[in-house]
Amino acid sequence: MALKGSRHMALPFQLLYHHVRAGLHRFAKLSLVGKLVIGFLVTFYIALLIAIIVISPARIGQFMYDTGQKIRSHQWGWALLAGLFVLVSFPPMVGHTTLLNLCGFTYGIKGFAIAGPGSVFGSAIVFVILRYMFSHKLRAWSSTNEKWQALETVVKAKGLPLMTLIRMSPFPPWVYSNSLFASIEVVALWQFMVATLCTSPKYLLYVFIGSRVAAMSDGKQREGMDTQTKIVNWILIIGGITVSVAAGWIIYVLMQRQLQGVSPVNDELAAEAIDDAEEGAPLLDNFSSESVELEDEA
């Protein structure tokens, strides 16, 4: 029993090592533009972490609360947030989760009325634009890529349940999940929208966390709270984050299982294609000369 337990404990570290190693390997194969984009994102997140430490979470929380109140006081504040959801849905933009939290900061739990539709329609707009603008290149590229062909086969066989699990999974991230589905020809727009709509509980959870953090971020509100109210708020915040992480992990495991069952070769290649999508493939990859020739012939 002890040996079995130690294996389960080691599993997350093995997965982390696998993803780091696979990520470095895929990074080495990216085009110059892809490497620059990934380098920018890594630099951005490191700078963001340093900024949080230097400025302090308390000041950042107060800033977000004040920003949320300014947006709330504006007549078209809801439209601004809705527009931002569309913007951050285009790769390689980031900030979808932050926007969900900001909706909670701004309107409380009612912010879900903006976050939910904004996420669904923002991603649908991106889906249509990417498929329309890059349809020929994506078709030519996927016709020479075994991983993408395998993923299309698995998605076609598994249907909407697998699409929903991929959409709900934290990997690939939100913005690259949009480009992933846009690049899979067998996925129809209505299926993509239904799969996205099914992720609404996750959006609601992030909005809820934002609403609770907002109450603890404003100095005036925090000073007026008694100890019991503060404790309850912190429990709700920590509980919400814990549920979010646990749900993401469970869904990711379920997604990996759903990728299996078609054929061993397709299953493995489809899983690799999902991992590639975390780095923005195929939009950040070079299209091969063979793909370009195929496109020109078409």
**Residue-level pLDDT at 193:** 94
* Amino acid 198: pLDDT: 92
8-state DSSP, 143: T
Q: Are 115 and 100 in contact (CB under 8 A)?
A: yes
Tokens of 63: 């800033």
The per-residue pLDDT string of the chain (298 residues; one tens digit each, 9 = 90 and over) reads 444 444 444 555 665 666 667 667 666 766 676 677 677 777 877 887 787 778 777 787 888 889 999 999 998 999 999 999 999 998 878 789 989 999 999 999 999 999 999 999 999 999 999 888 877 777 677 677 777 777 888 888 888 888 898 888 887 888 888 888 888 888 999 999 999 999 999 999 999 999 988 888 877 777 777 777 778 878 888 888 788 778 877 777 777 777 776 666 666 666 666 766 665 666 655 444 444 444 444 4
Cα–Cα distance for residue pair 81/88, rounded to 1 Å: 11
- Token pair 């609403």 in the structure block, residue: 211
Asked whether 271 and 142 are in contact (CB, 8 A), the reply is no
